[in-house]
Each structure stands twice: as structure tokens, then as C-alpha cells.
């Protein structure tokens, strides 16, 4: 008969593999403050990155406020977009952490859909 030594290790591995990512996804993936300074440093070259700033850049880069207010904007969508080459900036390569932070920042700008009386 085989000793069942493997069992505790296996359940630890399974718990790590399945529970940890689930737990991580339960909260905000990134750091808003870090994302904001990263956006100011790197993305502001083309995008309006400040909350409430709706100026579209000359090169067509949409303001982050507008990106956030797009009803179809989602963490997943932004993640996919940032992983694929940016048309006008092929060298834009972000680390996982930068991606998380900047996406969290962008989505933090989201406001309620504007009321008609507001504009
Ligand atoms: C060199 C200029 C430039 C820089 C720097 C830049 N972008 Fe862009 N970005 C653009 C342009 C131009 C577009 C619109 C055309 C396109 O989709 O490629 C765009 C589009 C986007 C979109 C798509 C919005 C949408 O849903 O249509 C997102 C999201 C975005 N950029 C995020 C970022 C982030 C985050 C950074 C900083 C890490 C960044 N960009 C840096 C030029 C830039």
C-alpha cells in the first residue's frame, strides 16, 4: 500500500492554484495612485489623463475620462487593448503591475452617465 503523503501537498497546491487567483480578482487589481502617476508620466504624452479632462488629442488619442465613460469599457477590454500594440505607439510595453494600476486608474474616472441637464 502506498503512503498517502502526497495528499496534503496536493491540496495545498490546488488551493494555491485555484483560490489565490480568485481571491486576488475579488479586489481591485491595481493601485489607483500608482496608476495615476504612471498615466501622467507615460500616457499623458498623447492622452488627456486627468479626471474631467475631455480634450481629444490631435493624434486622436481619446481622453481617459472618455474611455472610462464608455459603457462598454471594462477591465478585460482595456487589458486586451493594452496587450496588443498601440497603433501610434508600437513600443508601449507595460508590466503586469503597470497594466493593473493604469486600468484601475482609468476605471476610477468613470462617472455616472451624464444627465441631459449637465451639458
Ligand atoms: C504616442 C501617443 C500615445 C501614448 C503615449 C499612449 N497612447 Fe493610448 N492611444 C493613442 C492613440 C492615437 C489612440 C487612438 C488610436 C488607437 O486606438 O490606437 C489611443 C488609444 C488608447 C486607448 C483606446 C481607447 C478606446 O477604447 O478607443 C486606450 C485604452 C489607451 N490608448 C490607453 C493608453 C495608456 C494606458 C497609455 C499609457 C500607458 C497610452 N494609451 C499611451 C496614443 C497614445
Q: Is 79 in the pocket of ligand 1 (CB under 6 A)?
A: no
Q: Is residue 110 part of a domain?
A: yes
Q: Is residue 14 part of a domain?
A: no
Please state, as a whole number, how many other Cβ atoms lie within 10 Å of the Cβ of residue 115: 7
Residue 26: the pLDDT is 44
Dump pLDDT digits (tens) for 74-115.
999 999 889 887 777 667 889 999 999 999 999 999 986 555
Dump pLDDT digits (tens) for 37-81.
999 999 999 999 999 999 888 888 999 999 999 999 999 999 988
Query: Domain containing 87 — which CATH number?
Result: 1.10.760.10
89, 91, 103, 110: residue to mutate for ligand 1 pocket, most atoms within 8 A of CB: 89
**Structural domain count, the chain:** 1
Residue 116: the pLDDT is 55
What sign does the CA torsion over 50, 53, 58, 62 have?
Answer: positive
32, 43, 65, 76: residue to mutate for ligand 1 pocket, most atoms within 8 A of CB: 43
What is the domain range of residue 76? 29-114
Q: Is residue 119 part of a domain?
A: no
Residue 36's pLDDT band (boundaries 50, 70, 90)? very high
Residue 34: the pLDDT is 97
Q: Is residue 49 part of a domain?
A: yes
Amino acid at each position: 500500500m502506498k503512503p498517502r503523503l502526497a495528499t496534503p501537498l496536493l491540496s495545498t497546491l490546488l488551493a494555491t492554484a485555484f483560490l489565490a487567483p480568485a481571491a486576488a480578482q475579488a479586489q481591485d487589481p491595481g493601485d489607483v495612485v500608482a496608476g495615476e502617476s504612471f498615466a501622467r508620466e507615460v500616457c499623458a504624452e498623447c492622452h488627456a489623463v486627468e479626471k474631467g479632462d475631455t480634450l481629444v488629442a490631435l493624434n486622436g488619442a481619446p481622453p481617459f475620462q472618455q474611455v472610462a465613460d464608455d459603457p462598454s469599457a471594462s477591465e478585460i477590454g482595456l487589458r486586451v487593448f493594452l496587450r496588443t500594440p498601440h497603433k501610434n505607439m508600437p513600443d508601449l510595453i507595460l508590466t503586469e503591475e503597470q497594466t493593473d494600476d493604469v486600468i484601475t486608474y482609468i476605471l476610477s474616472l468613470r462617472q455616472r452617465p451624464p444627465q441631459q441637464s449637465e451639458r
